[in-house]
Amino acid sequence: MRLEASAVHQKRAAQIGRAKGMIWMVSVTIFFALYDLYFAKLSVFVTICICIIICAITAILFAWSMKTLRLAKKLPGDNSIEAIQRGDSMRRWFLIILIVEIAGFNIAPIALWKFDHLQYIVPVVILIAALHFIPLGRIFEMPVYYFLGIILSLITIVTMFLVPVSLQIGNLPALVAIPSLSFIFLNWIVILYILKDAMKYLRKV
């Protein structure tokens, strides 16, 4: 399966949208990374070293995302009827997916609390986030989102069904650590890939 974005991403609006999306993904990823680091309860020295690495990776990806956003804004605009209609359709479907995702984030924890399965809150939240990338791959014509959504969903589902609740990885429950660490590293890989792909269209700007 080819992971490159379609030719539509040569357009100004698409490039701006991708850059903003990467800024959001970088922000969400550092939240999960610091969350895991805090609850891992490692030694002070190890915690500081890992925190420096996380912040360095975040700073690099954030700076690169801002650079692509700045370059994207220099691209010529496309005011054709087709481009406007495509943009409206993308925004409409993205809003629908966002509403469904937010509803899932709110309903799932309440349902798990109701049925006394609080240990599954983090993996279920990550599963919801993973699943939302699959339709986004189609909406934004970015096959790499299929890769992220499918792989992360499979990892999370297998973890919930096969990993014992009592199993620990360090000081973190494996039910939390495996999906969360997978989310972090896969996000970083996908962000890096998308930014590198974006530069193919922005290098001459």
Tell me the C-alpha distance between 45 and 59, whole Å: 21
User: Beta strands 172-173 and 168-169: pairing type?
Assistant: antiparallel
> If you count them, how many residues does the chain have?
205
C-alpha atoms less than 13 angstroms from C-alpha of 26 in its C-beta half-sphere: 24
Phi-psi bin for 158: left (phi > 0), alpha (psi -120 to 50), beta?
Answer: alpha
The answer to whether residue 3 scores a pLDDT higher than 60 is: no
Confidence tier at 69 by pLDDT (50, 70, 90): very high
The answer to whether residue 189 scores a pLDDT higher than 70 is: yes
Confidence tier at 7 by pLDDT (50, 70, 90): low
* Helix, coil or strand: residue 54: helix
SS (H, E, C) 74-94: CCCCCCCHHHHHHHHHHHHHH
The answer to whether residue 161 scores a pLDDT higher than 80 is: yes
Q: What pTM was computed for the model? A: 0.89
What Cα–Cα distance (Å) separates residue 1 from each residue in 5, 125, 152, 201?
A: 12, 27, 17, 21
Nearest Cα to Cα of residue 147 among 188, 117, 190: 190
Q: Residue 180 has what DSSP assignment?
A: H
pLDDT tens across 91-142, in order?
899 999 999 999 999 999 999 999 999 999 999 999 999 999 999 999 988 8
